[in-house]
């Protein structure tokens, strides 16, 4: 299924998509690693190259239309085109987030304690940047690589949604808004591209272990922050996810095993969405 096929992975320098990249290589695919930081991509590429894999590193800002166009041209030149696209690039920005979880009338008067920030004090440019990376950073690569998939008779796209897609976490206004849009976008693009034999689906990771999560949530083994305790109490499996927990779902959505599946978002969340919190 994956042998000699070409997979383009955006956000490939990150914890989750680096593991997806390595797994697709192990399944025989050519992999194209895309991200903004070349050093991170090179570290992933070095692991793949040591095993003799075909890998292309391409630093690119996926919100830059011309940059994405150049990426697509290079993929076509090197590998003949794209069969699989994983839209893993995305993120949040603390400047787009208040530090408080609900309205406090002191924020209107500018009387919040030092270091605290209400909704009215967030950086709206940062807010826009979160929408841009998560939404347009998915739209632009999909539009470019869908052209190549049409030429190749079909293909498969996997987008990245979130637990925020279903119910926004406190303080994450821009991130939740953008990840809710990914679910809708996955449905509408799934319907649109179906006649071209291009399937568009998404995964919605639960709370996954990475360096950022250790800072904000802590770890089950070494101790949890208050926010981390709330997450674990809401997760029936009583742990955070690992990158490896995503691999089976992503490979299934890309494969012919999901040939009649398009427009869906699959939670990989340890049961987080099964609990109502009461």
The CATH number of whichever domain residue 72 belongs to comes to 3.40.50.720
CA separation for the pair 115, 134 (Å, rounded): 27
| Residue numbers annotated as active site | 175
- Mean pLDDT of each 10-residue bin along the chain, 278 residues long: 94 97 96 97 95 90 98 98 98 96 94 95 98 98 98 98 94 97 98 98 93 78 86 93 97 98 98 86
263 and 228 together in one domain:
no
Q: Is residue 116 part of a domain?
A: no
In the prediction, which pLDDT does 200 show? 98
224 and 159 together in one domain:
no
160 and 187 together in one domain:
yes
In the prediction, which pLDDT does 213 show? 74
The parent domain of residue 248 ranges over: 6-94+129-206+243-267
Tokens of 224: 């949890």
Q: Is residue 103 part of a domain?
A: no
15 and 38 together in one domain:
yes
Q: Is residue 278 part of a domain?
A: no
65 and 85 together in one domain:
yes
By the 10 Å C-beta count (0-12 exposed, 13-18 middle, 19+ buried), 169 is classed as middle
Q: Is residue 163 part of a domain?
A: yes
CA separation for the pair 153, 147 (Å, rounded): 10
Q: Is residue 105 part of a domain?
A: no
147 and 11 together in one domain:
yes
234 and 263 together in one domain:
no
253 and 234 together in one domain:
no
164 and 232 together in one domain:
no
In the prediction, which pLDDT does 226 show? 87
Burial profile 39-51: b = 16 or more Cβ within 10 angstroms, e = fewer: ebbeebbeebeee
Q: Is residue 102 part of a domain?
A: no
172 and 255 together in one domain:
yes
pLDDT digits 0-9 by tens, 87-98? 999 999 999 999
In the prediction, which pLDDT does 224 show? 86
Q: Is residue 111 part of a domain?
A: no
CA separation for the pair 186, 158 (Å, rounded): 9
Enumerate residues 6+ apart whose C-beta is below 8 A from 142: 85, 87, 157, 159, 189, 200
In the prediction, which pLDDT does 278 show? 66
235 and 260 together in one domain:
no
pLDDT digits 0-9 by tens, 251-271? 999 999 999 999 999 999 999
Q: Is residue 260 part of a domain?
A: yes
When divided into structural domains, the chain yields a total of 2
137 and 185 together in one domain:
yes
**Residue 155 pairs with which residues in a beta bridge?**
198
CA separation for the pair 106, 271 (Å, rounded): 38
In the prediction, which pLDDT does 53 show? 74
């Amino acid at each position: 299924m994956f042998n000699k096929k070409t997979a383009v992975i955006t956000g490939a320098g990150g914890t989750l998509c680096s593991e997806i990249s390595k797994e697709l290589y192990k399944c025989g695919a050519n992999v194209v690693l895309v991200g903004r930081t070349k050093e991170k991509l090179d570290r992933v590429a070095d692991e793949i190259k040591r095993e003799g894999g075909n890998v292309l590193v391409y630093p690119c800002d996926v919100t830059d239309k011309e940059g994405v166009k150049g990426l697509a041209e290079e993929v076509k030149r090197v590998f003949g085109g794209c069969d699989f696209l994983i839209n893993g690039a995305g993120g949040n920005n603390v400047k787009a987030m208040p530090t408080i979880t609900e309205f406090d009338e002191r924020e209107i008067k500018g009387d919040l304690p030092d270091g605290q920030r209400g909704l009215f004090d967030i950086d709206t440019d940062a807010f826009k940047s979160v929408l841009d990376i998560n939404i347009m950073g998915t739209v632009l690569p999909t539009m470019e690589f869908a052209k190549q998939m049409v030429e190749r008779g079909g293909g498969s796209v996997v987008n990245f949604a979130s637990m925020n897609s279903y119910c926004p976490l406190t303080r994450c206004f821009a991130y939740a808004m953008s990840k809710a849009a990914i679910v809708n976008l996955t449905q509408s693009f799934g319907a649109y591209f179906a006649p071209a034999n291009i399937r568009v689906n998404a995964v919605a990771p639960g709370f996954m272990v990475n360096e950022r999560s250790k800072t904000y949530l802590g770890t089950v083994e070494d101790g949890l922050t208050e926010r981390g305790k709330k997450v674990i109490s809401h997760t029936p499996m009583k742990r955070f996810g690992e990158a490896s927990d995503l691999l089976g779902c992503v490979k299934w959505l890309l494969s012919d095993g999901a040939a009649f599946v398009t427009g869906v978002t699959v939670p990989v969340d340890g049961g987080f969405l099964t609990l109502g919190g009461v």
